[in-house]
Structure 1
Amino acid sequence: MHETVLELLQRNAAHAETFRTRFDDVQDGQHPEAVTVCCSDSRVLQDHLWGNDDPGHVFTCSNIGNRVVQRTEAGEVVSGDVLYPIRHTGTETVVVVGHTGCGAVTATYDEVTDGLDEPAGITHCIDVLKTRLEAGVEALPDGLSRDEAVNHLVEYNVDRQVEFLLESDDVPDSVTVVGVVYDFQDVYGGERGEVHVVNVDGETSVDALAAAHPDLGPRVQRLWAY
């Protein structure tokens, strides 16, 4: 067996030893308090970033670019991965998690500015992002480096995903939708690995968010007030 698989199995054995009693209350069903939509980047450890060790607490979805949009024959709809816990497990909080240095956003930026040649599967994902990020690329402030432009667009992408959820008839008005950015590149000036709130139910003004949610304190932060 390949060494990597053996190592994964060894780590799983340690996991099973630690978690064997933690499934008692969730073996027959789940009622997660939040559904998170994260980028599938290997540097974004979905449960760890929340300090979550409780099975059944967070319903985690991931894909490149933390997309909530799924293309179907009927048009664009909220991804079933995100919609399932909203419809079937009583979950009323959605958190869209972007991250600094996102490769999918970088690829979309490069596609918009220079064009890319990628396999069809990657092209499909980038195209879903591209339709939402093109306007953001055009609106970027002057003088940004490529890395700075990407991190501005990370916020812009989170905003567009939140917007799509809020506008969908499939998502009840009772659901709270929060957009955040996970920073491990010292972009926001806090600790590496901190989550920064950039959007709550479509509100993106830092001042308005801070006033409406004083308990969030310094976690309300944005790079780009466009």
Structure 2
Amino acid sequence: MNRTVVELLADNAEHADAFAGRFDEVQDGQHPEAVTVCCSDSRVLQDQLFGNDTPGRLFTCSNIGNRVVQRTDAGEVVSGDVLYPLAHTGTRTAIVVGHTGCGAVTATYGVLTGDIDADSEPPGIRHCVGLLAPHLEPGVGLLPEGLDRTEAVNRLVEYNVDRQVDHLVGSDDVPDDASVVGVVYDFQDVYGAERGEVHVINVDGERDPDALRTEHAEVADRIGRLWTY
């Protein structure tokens, strides 16, 4: 068998041994505390970035660009992957997790600036970029002058998280008492803190760091943005 699969199965054996007794409370159902929407980048370790080793605690969704939307005949709606725990398991916290150096944001930025030909991508990737592009296009126009490509992308990472938060907050399908938090996971020293830290940039649509620190003083040191607009 493929060596990678052999190694993964060996790792799974260790996982099964460590977790054998941790599924007793969730055998017949789940009531996760939060749904997290992460980018499916291999560097974004969805459960581990929150230190989670408890089955049933987090409902994890992933896709390129940490999108919460899907396109239907009725227009853009909250993705069923994200909506399911909010609608059916009593979950009342949604966390949109962007990350520094996001490839999906980089590709979308390239398409919007004419540096990448979207038609050159396979249809599936073209579809995903097409879902991001309308939300990111206004942000490209707002970018400060003089940024290099990396700096521009990391500001658009924040802008993308904001747009996904807005979509959840504004959706009639999301319960009114749900809290929606936008964060950025930094493993590239962009925010000047520890690699792997999560930085809160948006809570229920509020983006102003000072307002957020006042409202959420208990995590004031974890609130910060690269860009306000």
**TM more than 0.5:** yes
Q: Verify: 1:75 aligned to 2:75, yes or no.
A: yes
1:42 equivalent in structure 2? 42
State the shift of 1:74 in Å. 1.4
d(CA) in 2 for partners of 1:125, 1:190: 31
Q: Aligned-pair RMSD on alpha carbons? A: 0.5
Partner deviation per Cα, 1:133-174 (whole Å, 9 max, x = no partner)? 000011100000100000000000000000001111001110
2:91 equivalent in structure 1? 91
2:157 equivalent in structure 1? 154
The answer to whether the 8 Å contact 2:87/2:175 transfers is no
Partner of 1:131: helix, strand, or coil? helix
Percent identical pairs in the alignment equals 70
> Under a length normalisation based on structure 2, what TM-score does the superposition of the two structures give?
0.98
Number of equivalent positions: 226
Among 133, 138, 147, the alignment partner of 1:135 is 138
State the shift of 1:215 in Å. 0.5
2:59 equivalent in structure 1? 59
Map 1:1-226 → 2, pairs under 5 A: 1-114=1-114, 115-116=116-117, 117-226=120-229
Letter in 2 for 1:150: V
State the shift of 1:59 in Å. 0.3
Structure 2: 5+ residue runs without aligned partners? none
Partner of 2:25: helix, strand, or coil? coil
Shift >4 Å, 4+ stretches: none
d(CA) in 2 for partners of 1:219, 1:143: 27
d(CA) in 1 for partners of 2:227, 2:132: 19
Letter in 2 for 1:87: A
State the shift of 1:73 in Å. 1.2
d(CA) in 1 for partners of 2:215, 2:27: 38
> Under a length normalisation based on structure 1, what TM-score does the superposition of the two structures give?
0.99
d(CA) in 2 for partners of 1:212, 1:96: 19
